[in-house]
Chain A
Amino acid sequence: MAKITIDNKEVECRDGITVLQAALEAGWDIPHYCYHPGLSIVASCRLCLMEMQMPHPKTGEMDWAPKLLPSCQTPVKDGMVVRFNSETVKKNQRDCMEFFLLNHPLDCPVCDQAGECYLQDYSYRFGRAESRMVDQKTVNPKKDIGPRPLLYSDRCVICSRCVRFTREISGTFELHVTQRGSRSEIDVFPGRPLDNPVQGNVVDICPVGALLDKDFLFKKRAWEFRPANSICPGCARGCSIRIDQDEDVVYRLKPRYNPKVNDWWICDEGRFGYKYIHDESRVKGPILRRGQSVTRLLWEEIPDILRFRFQEHVEKHGGDKVAAVLSPFMACEEAWLLGRFIREMAPQAALAMGPVPLEDEDQRFPVGAKGEAVKFEISKEKCPNRRGVEAILEQAGGTVLAFEDFIEKAGADAFSAAWIVGGYPKPWLEKAVAKKLSGKSELLVVQDIFPNDLMAEATFVLPACSWAEREGCFMNIDGLIQPFDWAIHPPDGVKRDGQYLFEIAGYTGLYSGKRVRELMAATMPAFAEVLAAPQLAAHAH
C-alpha cells in the first residue's frame, strides 16, 4: 500500500498502479480517453495531465514541477503529492476539449453514442461552451470497416483504444491509424476488414461515437434503457453482461467488468446471440393434452394438477418408473426446485442431464496465445450451467444418468413418466432421439422455449423462458457461481420457470433466486457464498 496526496487529501492505494487509477478508484472524476484499464498505456490524449511535486533541481526542496505530467503513465510512489484541482490542470482540460471538438461534427441528435458519450460528458464538465474556430471543419469520411462496426471518422478522437484492442486483446491486427495530423484516421488494410469473433468490443471501448454497432444503429437512444445485470448464457465461461432493454424489448448486450471471468470483454457470439428471445415461434401458454383434446391450462391450476398426476402415476407404476431430464440452460435454483419436486413425488426417480452442446475447440485471445498470455476465452461448451446442474444432481444422489443412458433406458421402456426440460436456443432434440423416446411415456411433461418433436405427444407442455426473463445463478466452467437478474417480462401467457417450479415444488409466494439459494445453502454451502457475493462494479470506462 502506498500513501499519496491528491488535491490535499491523503489516499491509500495499491502498489504498482498509476496515479490516474488511484484517483479513479478513490472517487475522483479525471477525464481521459486513451487510457483504458485493459489496454496498454499510450498517454496521448493529454486530458489526464496533473501537477506533481518534485524536488527542485537546484535547491532539492519539494516544489510543483514546471510541467504537467500524464497521470495515466505515472506510477504511484509513497509520499507523492499531486493535484488535479489547480487552474493549470483545469485550463489544460478546457483547452483539450476545445481541440477535440474543433472538427467534431456536433451531430449528437443523430448519433447513437449520445447519452453515453464522453465527448458530451467532458465538454459539459470541463469544456467551453462554444468553438472559436470560424473556419470550415476537416471532415474525415464515414467508413464501413467490417461486418459489425461502422466507423464515423469525423467523430473520432484518435485515442487508439480500438487499434490497441486488435493488437493486444484479439490479436488480429486489423485496425491501424493512417494519415498524419488532424487528418489521422482509423482504418483497415485493403481487403482485410475488421472481422474477428470479439470485434464488438471496439464499439464498447470507443469513448465517442466513432465506432458504432451496425446491429444497434439508429435503433434506440441510450438514456431510454432500463438495464439489468446478467450473465451471458452463450457458453460455459459465463461473462458478466448488462442487458439493455426498454418496454420488454432487448436492444443490445454490453459487457460488465468482471476480473474473474471476462475483464471488460465479451464475444460477438454472446453479444448478438440473444435475438432468439424475441422469436415469434416461442412456446406460449401451458397446455394439457388428453388423447386428442388439447386444453389451455391456467397457471394457478398447474401445481395441483401436476402433483396429482405424478402421485397417481407413482401409486400405479412405482417410483422407479419416473425420470426427469434437466437442462444445462436451467439456473441452479430451477434445477434444484425441479429435482426436489421429482424426488418428493418419487424418491427412486432417475434424474438425468440433458445434452451439452459442444463445439470442437475453445477459442482463446489474443489469437494463438497460451497460458498466462490468454486475455479472453470462449468456451467450446455452448451452455451456461452444465456444472451447476451437475452439482445439483450430485447432491440429489440416487439414480443419476447421463443423457445417453437415459435414452437407452427410456427406449427400453424403463420409464413411464418423464419430465424433459429443454430451453436451448437452437434445436436440440435430434429426430432419432425423439423417435426413440416417442410413445414411451404415459405422463410426459415437456418444458421448452421452442417447439420440439416430443411436444405433439406431451401430456403437459410448459413454456420455458429465456435467460433474459429469468433470475437465478449459473456455475461457470471454472466452478464460479454467478447470480443474474431478469431484464424483461416473459411474453404474454408465459410465466417464469423459477416461479412455477417454485410453486410446483410446494412453496408459496414470490420466487427469487436469493430465497431459493437460502434453502439450497443448507445442503450446498457453496450457494451461501453467492448470497453474500458483493455486487460487481459497473463497466469501468
Chain B
Amino acid sequence: MAFEPVLLKNVGVEGSRTIRVYESRGGYQALRKTLKMTPDEVVEEVKKANLRGRGGAGFPAGVKWGFLPKDRKRTLLCVNGDESEPPTFSNRVLMEHDPHQLIEGSIIAGYATQSQVAYIYLRVEFHEVFHILQRAIDEAYAAGYLGRNILGSGYSLDCYIHRGAGAYVCGEETGLIESIEGKRGWPRIKPPFPAVEGLFRLPTVVNNVETLSNLPHIMERGADWFTSIGPPHSTGPKLFCVSGPVKRPGCYEEAMTITCRELVERADLGGGMLDGRKIKGVLPGGVSMGILTPDELDMKMDFADPANYGLLGLGTAAAVVIDQGTDIRSVLRNVTHFFATESCGQCTQCREGTAWMDKVAHRMERQGGRHEDADLLLETARNMGMMPGLSICGLSDGATYPIETIVKKYRDELEAAIAAQPEGRVQEVLQAVN
C-alpha cells in the first residue's frame, strides 16, 4: 500500500494558509465530528490510536491527557512550537503552510481535555510563522471555530500565541510553562507534573505541534486507520527532516517503517548524497539522540529501534548527514557548543559538564587534544547522568548522548587525529583557547 501523506497534503497548495482553502480541502470537518462526541470518547479514540508525542520523548498523548485530575475546574493547553533542536524544521513547515491544521488539532485537544485556553508557544525566531499563525487564528475566531460556544456546541476556547525569548530549554514542557508565566525558562522540579499543577498552577497539557496536527486526521478517519500505518509501537504518519549534503534536503512524511538509509538515499526522500560524496555518519533524531555510523544506517526510524544502536530515542526524527570530508572533531565541537550555550544553568551537572566538554572539544578541534581526552569526555558524560539522568530535566541526557556515541563510535579517528598533532601543540592551544 502506497503511503498517502496527510499532514503535508496541503503543503504546496496555493493559498493553503487561508481558511477558505483549508475548508475547501476538508478542513474543520473533523472538528464538527469531534464536537458531537463526548470529551471522554475523544480521549479514548486518541488512546486507541496510540498517538505518541512527536516532540521527542514519544509519550502517548491520550495517556498524558488521562493524568488530568477528574475534579478539575480549569484546564490549560500549551502548544509546544518551540522547535529548537538543531536540524529540525518539521513544525515550522506545518505552521507555515498549514496553520489551520494545527488550530483544528488544538481545538480538538482542547475539547478532549476541556481546556479553556490554548497557548501556542512559538520560538522567537519564527517571525513569519507568528504572523501567519496569528492571521489564521483571527480567521478561525471570525469563522466561529474559536471563542465562545464553538459551532453551537457549548464548548469555548480562546487561543493566544506566546513568543519565547530564544532558549532551547523552553521546549521542555515545564521550561515552556515558566516562560509563558514570564519567568526565566528554568524547568520545574516534578512532581507535581503539569497535568496536576502546570501553567498558572492549573492543570495543564503540553503537546507538540506535530502531535496536535495529527488529531484532525485521527478524528476524521478513525483510530483504526491510524494504527494501520507503521508498526504497533509507532503508529501513524510521521514527519522526517533531512539535511546536510544530500540531493533533496527537506521535510518528508512517511510511515515509521523506513530506515535511516532510506530517509537519506531514497529518491523520493533525501535522494542520496550530493556529488558522489560519502556518508561519514548521520545524527538521525536531532543532535541530542546520538550518531549512527554508515554501517548502522539500517536502523528503523521508529520509537523502539534507536535504543538498539546506543541512541537515546527517535527524538525529532530530523536526520543531519555528515560527509566524509568533515573532521569528526568539528562535529563534536559543534554539538558540545550548542549544549554549552543552551544549558539553562540550573542543575550543576548540566551547567558545568556541558561547558567543560565544550572546552575539551574546542581544544581538540584546535589540534590540542590529549590522549586521555576521549576517556575524559566519556566519563564526564556519564557523570552528568545519562538515562536515568541526575538533573531536573532531560536536557543533560540529550547533551551527553551525542558526545558519548561520537566518541565511542569514532574513537579510532579521534585517536589518529590526536596522534597526528604537532609536538607541543597542546600547551600552545591551552594558552590560546578561551
Contacts and interface: CB of A to CB of B under 8 A. Distances in A.
Interface string B334-366: 000000111111111101111110011001000
A181 B355 contact: yes
Interface in A184-204: 184
Interface of B: 167, 184, 186, 189, 340-349, 351-356, 359-360, 363, 370, 376, 383, 388-392, 430-431, 433-434
Interface string A93-112: 00110111011000000000
Given A44-B348, A184-B345, A136 B391 contact: no
B345 A136 contact: no
B201 to A, nearest CB: 14
The 4 closest A-B pairs by CB, nearest first: A184-B345, A182-B355, A67-B388, A99-B352
Contacts of B391: 46
A45 B348 contact: yes
Interface stretch (A127-135, A395-403, A514-522): A127-135
A101 to B, nearest CB: 9
Nearest to A42: B189
Interface in A115-151: 132-136, 138
Nearest to A97: B348
Interface in A10-45: 41-45
A134 B356 CA distance: 10
A135 B433 contact: yes
Nearest to A160: B346
B342 to A, nearest CB: 7
Given A96-B348, A135-B433, A181 B390 contact: no
A120 B346 CA distance: 21
Nearest to A43: B189
A92 B385 CA distance: 9
Given A46-B391, A133-B356, A135-B363, A100 B348 contact: yes
Contacts, number: 101
Contacts of A100: 348, 352
Given A99-B348, A176-B184, A181-B341, A68 B390 contact: yes
Given A67-B388, A68-B390, A95-B383, A177 B352 contact: no
B65 to A, nearest CB: 21
Contacts of B363: 135
B379 to A, nearest CB: 9
Contact of A158 (B346, B349, B360, B376): B346
A49 B390 contact: yes
Contact of B433 (A47, A136, A177): A136
B345 A92 contact: no
Contacts of B376: 132
Nearest to A135: B359
B351 A41 contact: no
A134 B427 CA distance: 10
B352 A46 contact: no
Contacts of B189: 41-43, 70, 73
A292 interface: no
Given A44-B392, A134-B430, A180 B348 contact: no
B348 A47 contact: yes
A181 B351 contact: yes
A8 interface: no
Given A67-B388, A70-B189, A181-B342, A103 B433 contact: no
28 contacts: A41-B189, A43-B189, A44-B346, A44-B347, A44-B392, A46-B349, A68-B388, A68-B390, A96-B348, A96-B349, A98-B383, A99-B348, A99-B356, A99-B383, A100-B348, A103-B352, A103-B355, A135-B360, A135-B434, A177-B184, A180-B344, A181-B341, A181-B342, A181-B343, A181-B355, A182-B340, A182-B343, A182-B356
A95 B355 CA distance: 15
A212 interface: no
Contacts of B355: 102-103, 138, 181-183
Main secondary structure of the interface of A (DSSP, over half): loop
Contacts of B389: 67
Interface in A56-88: 66-68, 70, 73
B237 to A, nearest CB: 31
Contact of B343 (A157, A177, A180): A180
B345 A102 contact: no
Contact of B351 (A70, A98, A134, A158): A158
Nearest to A67: B388
Nearest to B345: A184
A103 to B, nearest CB: 7
B121 to A, nearest CB: 18
A535 interface: no
Contact of A182 (B351, B388, B431, B433): B351
B132 to A, nearest CB: 29
A41 B184 CA distance: 16
A508 interface: no
Given A47-B348, A49-B390, A99-B352, A180 B342 contact: yes
A281 interface: no
Nearest to A74: B191
A138 B345 contact: no
A92 B184 CA distance: 27
Most central of B189, B360, B363 by chain A CB within 10 Å? B189
B372 to A, nearest CB: 9
Interface string A333-372: 0000000000000000000000000000000000000000
Contacts of A133: 356, 359
Most central of B341, B348, B370 by chain A CB within 10 Å? B348
A136 B351 CA distance: 16
B10 to A, nearest CB: 37
A293 interface: no
Contacts of B346: 42, 44, 158
Contacts of A43: 189, 392
A67 to B, nearest CB: 4
A88 to B, nearest CB: 10
Given A99-B349, A100-B352, A182-B355, A136 B390 contact: no
Contacts of B184: 176-177
A41 B434 CA distance: 34
Interface string A196-228: 000000000000000000000000000000000
Given A43-B392, A46-B391, A96-B349, A182 B360 contact: no
A182 B345 contact: yes
A136 B434 contact: yes
Contacts of A136: 359, 430-431, 433-434
A100 B392 CA distance: 17
B430 A99 contact: no
A102 B430 contact: no
Contacts of A42: 189, 346
B117 to A, nearest CB: 26
Nearest to A45: B348
Most central of A44, A96, A138 by chain B CB within 10 Å? A44
Contacts of A95: 349, 383
B86 to A, nearest CB: 16
Most central of B186, B349, B351, B388 by chain A CB within 10 Å? B351
A99 to B, nearest CB: 4
Given A100-B352, A132-B376, A158-B351, A92 B433 contact: no
A46 B347 contact: yes
Nearest to A180: B345
B352 A102 contact: yes
Contacts of A184: 345, 351
Most central of B167, B184, B355, B360 by chain A CB within 10 Å? B355
Nearest to A159: B348
A68 B385 CA distance: 10
Contacts of A103: 352, 355
Given A43-B189, A68-B390, 12 more contacts: A44-B186, A44-B347, A67-B388, A70-B189, A99-B348, A99-B356, A135-B359, A138-B355, A182-B343, A182-B355, A182-B356, A184-B351
A52 B363 CA distance: 40
B11 to A, nearest CB: 34
